[in-house]
Amino acid sequence: MGIWAMNANVGNIIGSSLCNVLENSGASWVWNFMLTGLFGLGVAAVMFFFLKEKPDEEVEATPTALNASTENVNNNGNGK
């Protein structure tokens, strides 16, 4: 959830940086809209072609795996 939640912040940083570079290079303000839109369309195309709608295999959490992950969290949380 943390990665999903930071997407808006990362998008704002990339978009404002791109607009700043375009402004400093002397490009017209129209290019700010065109290039940020094309960047968004490029990301959408990558997601469309490479993101699986339904994974082929479902990963089941076994009790052994759950216990191991819980122990790792507990050990790291206690500073051990």
Q: Which residues of 26-55 are buried (b: 16+ CB within 10 A; e: fewer)?
A: eeeeeebeebbeeeeeeeeeeeeeeeeeee
- On whether the pTM is more than 0.75, the answer is no
pLDDT band at 9 (very low <50, low <70, confident <90, very high): confident
User: In this prediction, what percent of the chain has a pLDDT beyond 70?
Assistant: 62
- Mean pLDDT for the stretch of residues 36-57: 83
CA 65 to chain centre: 27
* Residue 78: predicted pLDDT: 55
Cα separation of 19 and 32, whole Å?
A: 5
